[in-house]
Structure formats: C-alpha cells, structure tokens
Amino acid sequence: MSSPVFALVDCNNFYASCERLFRPDLASRPIIVLSNNDGCVVARSREAKALGIGMGIPVFKIRQQIAQHRIAVFSSNYTFYADMSARVMRILEQCAPRVEIYSIDEAFLDLDGLSTRTSPEDFGRHIHQMIPAWTGIPVCVGIGPTKTLAKLANHTAKTDPDNAGVVNLCGPTRRRDALARYPVAEIWGIGRRLSRQLNALGIETALDLANTNPGQIRNLFSIVVERTVHELNGIPCIDLEVSAPIKQQIICSRSFGTRITGLPAMRAVVARYAARAAEKLRGERRCARSMTVFIRTGLFNEREAQYSNGATGHLAVPSDDSRALTQQALTLLDTIWRDGFRYAKAGVMLSDFHHPDQWQADLFEINRNRSHSEALMSVIDRINQKDDGSRVFFAREGIGNGWTMRRDRLSPAYTTRWSDIPTVR
DNA sequence: TCTGGGGTCCTAGGACCC
DNA sequence: TCTGGGGTCCTAGGACCC
C-alpha cells in the first residue's frame, strides 16, 4: 500500500479576491474586508498586506492609511463568499475522489486515488491554473504526506514567489530545507502561547520541533502537540474528514451596532439570537437539551463599568422548537441581567444534542406531540430561506433594530440575488 | 466614538460511586 | 488516632483554528 499524499488548496486572500471579482476597477488597488459590525480587518489583498495592514487590526486605527493609499474597504458579505466558496469546492470535488472542505476558503484533497500517470506536482499545477480560470479566484496548492505538512507546504507556496503557487514536500530533502526555514509559530496547531513556550525551550523552527522527542513533548504539553511532531516527520496522525461531522455546539452571538442599556431591548435581541440558533439546529436535524445565554459590556473601554455573565439551563425534553428555546433563553437572561450597564454583546449557545425522535421521555409531558411543532417550524424555515429580504419571526424578537450590526460598506449580492446580478453594457 | 463570529479538542478538578 | 484507591462523569477553562 502506498503512503498517503495530501494536498491543501487554499484560496489567496479569499474575501478580498471575491470583492475584486466584479470590480475590475479595483484590479491593482489595495482592498480590505472588515469583520461583522465593520470592526476590524479580516482579509487583505496582496497590496494591502504590502502596506503593512495587520490582520485583525481595528479599522479606526488605520483611517489615515485608508485615505492616504485609497484602500477599498468592504463590509463582510458572507452570502457572496459562501456562494463563491461552493463553486470552488464543487470543482475540487470533481478533481479528487476524497475532499475535506476544511473552511470557507480551503480544502484538503486525498491524492492517493489519483492516476499513477499524474505526479502530485502536475496535479497541483493543474488545480492552480484551473480554479482561477473557472472561478476568478486565485489559489495556492501545498502537497505533503500529512495534513500538517500540506498546510506548511501551502504556506510556503504562498509566501515564496519562486514556487509558482505549488509546493510538494513529500521528498525528504526539500522537506528538511522547508522546515528549517519555517518558524514554529506558523505551524498549524501551534498558536501564540505554545510557540512562546517552545521558543523558551530553544525550539525556533519547524525542524527543531520535528527533531524533538514526541514522548517528552507529550508530557510537557499535550497529545495534540505530540501529534504535530509526528506529522512534521511525515507520520500521519490526522485523517481526512470527508463528511462534515455533526456539530456538537451551535452559537449565535453578535456585538451590537449600538450599545443596549434596557432589558426590553436585550430580551428582543436574545430572543432573536435564540430563534436563529434554533433555525441552525433544525438545519442539523438535531434537538438540544442544554442552553447558555451570556451578555457582556464592551471589553476595551476601561473607564466604563464592566459586567459579564452567563447562565446555563437544561430543558426537560430536548427541543428544536423556536418557541421553547426562546422561552428558555429569556428565563436565563432574566437571571443574569443587571441594570446600569452599557451592553455591547450577547449570545446564545446550544449543546447536548439528540436525534429529534430519540429522547428520554419526560414524566410530566406525557402527550407530547411533535408533529404540530415540526410543521410550524418547517413553514417558518421555508419562508426565511428565501433571499428576498422577507422574514417571519416571533413578536418577542421585536421589530426595533437599532442594535443590528453595522455593514456600511456592503457589496451587492452579485451571485445570489437576481436584482444584484451585474449587467454588461 | 469605533476592537468579529463560530467552532473543536484537551485537561484538570470536583462530585460521586463502589 | 485512624481517614484508600480507582473509576466515571461532568464542567469550566484554556488553547487552537479559520
């Protein structure tokens, strides 16, 4: 049996590349895309990176640079990005038998089942050329015997222009060179904290980490880091996950466009988030038994009084009914609400999932009838799935929307709404 | 004035049981 | 005065990812 070969295909500056697609006038201008609420920078075009715009920087800190360099600024348009992502992923799924969609802009491919006549490099070059030709989105391809090495290869392909967008680290010599030049902090699975601790032990590069004793690393850190050591040495520990695993947890949380100070407004927000979480839950075909509601003030204003609290509760019977879940959310909210603060964010989390038709019966709910609830919820979901702006919701969610998020620089829904489709004259 | 949202996995520690 | 040991389950919190 041959040893596995993984490819990681990653879209370059994905959100920024999407925004540029239908805006040829922005071909060489720097582009940045902002987080929800237009808070901080979550994507940068190559030109914006070259200007030194950092990932995650709050946008108000770079106002001057934006004006000076005529940086094009966009609010996140997730409907658009998700549609472009689906186009890229569908093509990849035609190219390889097993594909793991790892995030909105990257996928792992199993190259094992590929024709023996095609070398991994040729395959990578084919993808590197085809995806932009068919979708307009540029990609880089990293190839390696483990997912960690494929990730590392991809990053090398992106950062070093000599590689022409494709790097294969299956060969030991090439691999050794690449690892020696790769900082430990950049490795997949090594974050800020771990890299600091590793640096303190004199482990600076990926090669240093690969040469450590895995057992010792496990004792010092955890099994996660031990796996990374093996993966860097070409021993696969992380499998391809071809089908999306069932979610363990669903979160709906958001910062507000303007602060909330009164309980009625907060009740409307929390009801809204609970209903949205319930909708996602039904999309997963699950019922939840456990719910957490949290609220907090802004984190960054030191002169302001701070408060943050959350409460968890369990339903007697797992549910996917928006009415039951919003009711529970409001009950929990009332236990943590405090007057006198300017709240900036709230959230609803669902967990402890069960199949809709398998639950522990509740002694006090003998004549539970799911079919009525199911019918109502599916009507609501069908109406709300239409992308025409209309939506049905419960009165509890309120109709005031002063707190909804800011998206001042939103691009059109170019590919998903008839009225926004670009016309060529 | 203005700093995202949505996930996963692992570990430690407490409760509880025999 | 003496006050085990080992197992499971649950939860909170930390670290990481995109």
Instruction: Provide the pLDDT for residue A405.
Output: 80
Q: Which nucleotides of B are covered by protein (CB under 7 A)?
A: 1-11
Instruction: Provide the pLDDT for residue A83.
Output: 96
Residue A310: strand, helix, or coil? strand
DSSP class per residue in A217-266 = HHHHS-HHHHHHHHHHTT---S----SPPPPSEEEEEEEEEEEE-SHHHH
Instruction: Provide the pLDDT for residue A1.
Output: 58
- End-to-end Cα spacing for chain A: 57
**Between the CA of A369 and the C1' of B17, what is the distance in angstroms?**
37
pTM of the model as a whole: 0.93
Q: Could you give the CA distance from residue A150 to residue A154 in angstroms, rounded to a whole number?
A: 6
Question: Tens digit of pLDDT per residue, chain A (425 long)?
Answer: 578 999 999 999 999 999 999 999 999 999 999 999 999 999 999 999 999 999 999 999 999 999 999 999 999 999 999 999 999 999 999 999 999 999 999 999 999 877 777 899 999 999 999 999 999 999 999 999 999 999 999 999 999 888 999 999 999 999 999 999 999 999 999 999 999 999 999 999 999 999 999 999 999 999 999 999 999 999 999 999 999 888 999 999 999 999 999 999 999 999 999 999 999 999 999 999 999 999 999 888 888 888 999 999 999 889 999 999 999 999 999 999 999 999 999 999 999 998 887 755 555 554 456 788 888 888 888 888 876 667 788 888 877 666 778 899 999 999 988 889 888 87
- Asked if strand B contacts A402 at the CB level, meaning under 7 A, the answer is no
Q: Which nucleotide is nearest to A348 (CA to C1')?
A: B6
Instruction: Provide the pLDDT for residue A78.
Output: 94
Long-range contacts of A314-317 (CB under 8 A, 24+ apart): A314/A289, A314/A290, A314/A352, A315/A288, A315/A289, A315/A290, A315/A291, A316/A362, A316/A364, A316/A365, A317/A289, A317/A359, A317/A360, A317/A361, A317/A362, A317/A365, A317/A368
Q: Which nucleotide is nearest to A104 (CA to C1')?
A: C18
- Asked if strand C contacts A192 at the CB level, meaning under 7 A, the answer is yes
Instruction: Provide the pLDDT for residue A366.
Output: 47
Do A14 and A107 contact (CB within 8 A), yes or no?
Answer: no
- Asked if strand C contacts A193 at the CB level, meaning under 7 A, the answer is yes
- Asked if strand C contacts A106 at the CB level, meaning under 7 A, the answer is yes
Q: Which nucleotide is nearest to A42 (CA to C1')?
A: B4
- Asked if strand B contacts A220 at the CB level, meaning under 7 A, the answer is no
Instruction: Provide the pLDDT for residue A76.
Output: 95
- Orientation of helix A147-159 relative to helix A172-180, angle to 10°: 70
Q: Strand runs (DSSP E) across A320-425, as ranges?
A: 343-354
**Between the CA of A285 and the C1' of C2, what is the distance in angstroms?**
57
Q: Which nucleotide is nearest to A185 (CA to C1')?
A: C16
Q: Which nucleotide is nearest to A224 (CA to C1')?
A: B10
**Between the CA of A314 and the C1' of B18, what is the distance in angstroms?**
29
**Between the CA of A352 and the C1' of B16, what is the distance in angstroms?**
21
Instruction: Provide the pLDDT for residue A389.
Output: 66
